[in-house]
Amino acid sequence: MSDLYTTAAVILAGLLLYRFRAPILAALRRFDAENIARRQEEQRDRTDPLAHYKHTLKLAGEQVEEVHEIEEPDARTGDPVTRYVFGAEKFATREEAEEARNIVVVAKARIFYRDLPTALRTRRGDDRLH
């Protein structure tokens, strides 16, 4: 009787895999494409002297909230208008909001580089110099 259950479970698993093969294969293709893109980026970074700065800005950008789009009534006409919110501040255009966001991202990256020598000294154990 146990063999019957095992066989039924294997057949059911096979049917489920066959049923959901398209999404599974699509996910595997995306994963493969991301790996290929990552490897190509690593190859480019080996010859790019500014790669460290690009990665720092990318990491700082991940730590800062995105610009959000909201609709609200205009104060004068009452018509719905699109506003862009970043850091609890409303902006009339996406460009203004993105510029404010970029200022914050660059500031975070600068803080990283300001604190980098101290972190490296601590990591090496050279803290006795100061």
Q: What angle is formed at CA 110 by the lines to CA 66 and CA 95, rounded to 5 degrees?
A: 35
Mean of pLDDT over the chain: 90
pTM reported for the whole predicted model: 0.64
What was the pLDDT predicted at 85?
95
What was the pLDDT predicted at 43?
93
CA distance linking residue 109 with residue 115, whole number of Å: 10
The mean pLDDT value for 16-27 works out to: 93
Q: Give the count of beta carbons closer than 10 Å to the beta carbon of residue 94.
A: 14
Provide the H-helix boundaries in the chain.
2-19, 21-47, 51-63, 94-124
Least confident of 4-13, 68-77, 92-101, 121-130: 121-130
CA distance linking residue 68 with residue 53, whole number of Å: 26
CB-based burial label for 63 (10 Å; 0-12, 13-18, 19+): exposed
Q: Is the pLDDT of residue 108 over 90?
A: yes
